[in-house]
Chains A and B, each alone.
Chain A
């Protein structure tokens, strides 16, 4: 059982969390033209790195989104930051 650090609630059981996606995806402005390829890239492409990853997670019990940096092989958690404070 992993412990994930919710920036608001502290370390909690991994089962309280939902993987929301990799960081760094920006929704195309759909009020203008968006090509099928760009839209498909937005919907589908994953970096899926082996090793250090930066991801958006939701702590389901408090509903807050945050950015967690972790190692996808060792499962070591490297940092967690509230999404609104994420600068990278």
Chain B
């Protein structure tokens, strides 16, 4: 076929030709073309195949209302699936392929499926594939379904910028009404943003000869200039895809093809919906043949892209827009016949190639049928925001009714289809003046699907839903509009029903003899048009996905060849040295036991509680009694939830009468802080208690091991480190080279330990000093993995690893406060609920294995000796202890405390072994090394 491009007119730039290919053939288009307009210009009609029957299909509409022309597009070596051809702007070098068709859209091997259509109607799969088994059929069905394939490549940098903005008036749609409203609002001093999804504003104005005495181009340019001169902002290629809570509008601003759109979260005081309307299909036999297109679409192709959809055109329309459209097409050189669709049955003639149209038995030859079934306002955003719709008999459409707060609809989106009236209305609304009546010259005759009509009358083009499918749904009592949608898949294609919903619900109304508004609409859901997942995920990818907290000393750890990994939300050294992690961890454990290990314990929580009521407050927060703690002393304790379950453990130090420091688990700090704040403000006098989280401000370095005192003594601190002057579980405040430091004698390893806290900006000096002092005695840095082994040898637990959500403190051997503590504390009453008194509670124990046996797998269960194995608990921590030379394990076991010495069966992934229950402490049970 020869070119359908006319020689002049339109918004394309004929001086900039672009080359592209479709299904292997090369074509030329121009800057400003869409993929569909460029293909149409080249005479390509078949651009895809339908979802189920693989029928050949051409484009229906020129913009967001096209459900037919869908391509996988490759540019710059990157393939994007399922690009809507009608809204994808052509770029030089694009390689496009039809989807769901092989080898090409014009010749598809699966086209034969259409012959089976009588058995593949609505919901056929619910009635069959039951015997022998669905799984036998499903793989085939899945291969047949789906449109484009998604390629395996990961696109580097395909990420959306995320913008936040606000404005007084957001105008959605840059057609006549939107432009007029934006100008009027901006000129009356409002902060205006106008968004338009085309790359050139103007809507359908380019179909006209003149607007208010100007050419459309001049009029549009004048409005844009005036809007910007008055301080308004205009965003083209920007789609308002959803209205969300608190009047926030999601905007997707397109960049060049291949780049993720930019997401704007635009919060507007007022939203003016000027999103226009789309032309709806007419339901007749074979109404989805290639060459049957939207009349309005054809006018857009002509006006914007200089493409004449056909040579010999039959215009089938029930409304007053047909005449000017036909005139415009005729003026561009087409032979146009206007046909009244209300006179009798209609049938498109021809198959892959249209031959004509038959109406009431009369045949009209045509290569193209342009259809206009009346205008449907685009009210999606109205409904997102909770606005109501009212059925309007005059326009045969659902129009905006009761408005959501702060929202107004104007122009075609409001059913104001006549230009002059739309302009008047737009300006009135923008200036908060009373709006004129909608009534105008637009006339439309009711024209809806007629039940019982012969032939294949398509309702959802992409999803192959026919009038017969709707009739079947009605016959089977799937009559609610949602049942109809779900049973037939009507309205679930990529256009989400923009072209099909009205026909579908009108068909159901006709079948049931109900008025259309009684059938109602399905829910409008965002996004207005499909949006890439990258739009939403934005920059929260890779290392920016829940970013890790970083240590002040990270550069020094890297310099020391630390293996950094995530531990509780922090990036921490797991061990030092490359290769053979197990060997390094083992060496570090041995070093810590023989000389000393130096650990960066900075992530440890450091939450200060102070004020006149601080003592009673921490006494209430902790399970353990804290009020008897003396200044300078430290106590280990639990925080519970109000349900009595262990939330966190750690030590609390008393700095003074009214001042405490809580050390919580590094991963729980934020949670603990919020927990403390909640109790502080709800139930206490918040002016007498103050909470400060200083975790990030202080770094903490721990020296642990028999040589710890020697190493710390090398520091220039005026502090007596002797065991008598500075015993275990005490804290001293002093200075290091003039900088305040806190030194705590607490141990998470079971060996003599000093925890030195210093402000983070001075931590590097301290680290280097400790490492230098350590080197002379054979000590050095250890990572968190070695610490895990060291603490397990001593039987110290990690909350969340050695406990579960149900664990109570008496399950861990800390039963005294439950029995004795007089004062109220969080969770107290729950410790006496029925569940707390169960005699089969899982309690913390240790496990030993027989000499020579391997360590127990962590996660293995302990099972009873009944016929069917039943879990009685599980191994929570397990290591081959370098210190002891044999495996050790901790776990939770039903009635564990009473079962010390008992042999238990261990079960892991079907394998059985055995172990002996022991007390949960393997190293220095008397605590001699701890108190050294």
Contact = CB atoms under 8 A, between A and B. Distances in A.
Contact between A and B in the complex (any CB pair below 8 Å): yes
A43 B643 contact: yes
A8 B711 CA distance: 48
A22 B642 CA distance: 16
Contacts of B674: 18, 58, 60, 63
Contact of A39 (B245, B386, B830): B830
Interface string B552-587: 000000000000000000000000000000000000
B742 interface: no
Contacts of B683: 27
- Which of B678, B686, B834: most chain A Cβ within 10 A? B678
B245 A20 contact: no
A63 B829 contact: no
A43 B823 contact: no
A64 interface: yes
Contacts of B246: 1-3, 75, 77
B673 interface: yes
Contact of A56 (B643, B682, B824): B682
A46 B303 CA distance: 61
Interface string B503-543: 00000000000000000000000000000000000000000
A31 B824 contact: yes
A63 B828 contact: no
Contacts of A27: 683
Interface string A51-76: 00000101010011100000000110
Contacts of B823: 31
Given A36-B833, A43-B643, A60-B674, A84 B824 contact: no
Contact of B828 (A1, A30, A60): A30
A1 B830 contact: no
Nearest to B244: A1
B677 interface: yes
Nearest to A1: B248
Contact of B833 (A1, A39, A77): A39
Nearest to B823: A31
B683 to A, nearest CB: 6
Interface string A26-57: 01111100101001000100000000000010
Interface residues of B, number: 27
Contact of B681 (A30, A74, A84): A84
A29 B823 CA distance: 10
A43 B642 contact: yes
Contacts of B829: 28, 30, 34, 39
Interface string B672-690: 0110011001110010000
Contacts of A60: 674
Contacts, number: 53
- Which residue among A28, A60, A63, A65 has the maximum number of chain B CB atoms within 10 Å of its CB? A63
Residue of A34, A39, A56 with highest tally of chain B CB at under 10 A: A39
Nearest to B683: A27
Interface in B625-648: 642-643
A65 to B, nearest CB: 4
Interface string B413-436: 000000000000000000000000
Interface residues of A, number: 25
A64 B681 contact: yes
B682 A83 contact: yes
B402 to A, nearest CB: 14
A58 B676 CA distance: 12
Given A39-B830, A63-B673, A75-B245, A31 B822 contact: yes
A36 B644 CA distance: 14
B810 interface: no
Nearest to A82: B681
Nearest to A11: B246
Contacts of B833: 36, 39
A29 B829 CA distance: 10
A63 B672 CA distance: 12
A73 B267 CA distance: 20
A3 B267 CA distance: 10
A70 B681 CA distance: 21
B245 A65 contact: no
B245 A1 contact: yes
A28 B827 CA distance: 11
A31 B674 CA distance: 25
A84 B245 contact: no
A1 B682 CA distance: 28
B677 A58 contact: yes
B248 A20 contact: no
B411 to A, nearest CB: 27
A56 B681 CA distance: 11
Nearest to B828: A30
B643 A30 contact: no
A2 B245 contact: yes
Contacts of A36: 833-834
Nearest to A60: B674
A65 B824 contact: no
B445 interface: no
| Nearest 9 interchain pairs by C-beta | A65-B681, A75-B245, A63-B677, A30-B824, A39-B829, A30-B828, A2-B245, A30-B829, A2-B246
22 contacts: A1-B246, A2-B246, A18-B674, A20-B682, A28-B829, A30-B825, A31-B822, A36-B833, A36-B834, A39-B829, A58-B677, A58-B678, A63-B677, A64-B681, A65-B677, A65-B678, A74-B386, A75-B245, A77-B246, A83-B682, A84-B681, A84-B686
Interface of A: 1-3, 18, 20, 27-31, 34, 36, 39, 43, 56, 58, 60, 63-65, 74-75, 77, 83-84
Given A34-B829, A58-B674, A74-B386, 14 more contacts: A1-B246, A1-B248, A3-B246, A20-B678, A20-B682, A29-B824, A30-B825, A36-B833, A39-B829, A39-B833, A63-B674, A65-B678, A77-B246, A84-B686
